[in-house]
Amino acid sequence: MNHTKYRVWLWVLLLVLVTAGMAWYMLAREKEEPVTDGTLVYRTVQEELA
């Protein structure tokens, strides 16, 4: 009986982690800035205003 509880708990934990990972990936992909050719460094706000 105890093994069944742990097995169910592990499956639920796995399902929650996979769901959270997919949600995080989808949200992170939406916020991704477009990359232009040759842009390999991080640009600061002051550089963009100049």
Domain layout of the chain by residue ranges: 2-49
Mean of pLDDT values over 32-48: 61
Nearest to 7, CA basis, from 37, 15, 34, 23 = 15
Q: Write the pLDDT tens digit of every residue in 4-27.
A: 999 999 999 999 999 999 999 888
Predicted pLDDT of residue 29: 75
CA 50 – CA 45 distance, rounded (Å): 9
More confident call, 35 vs 25: 25
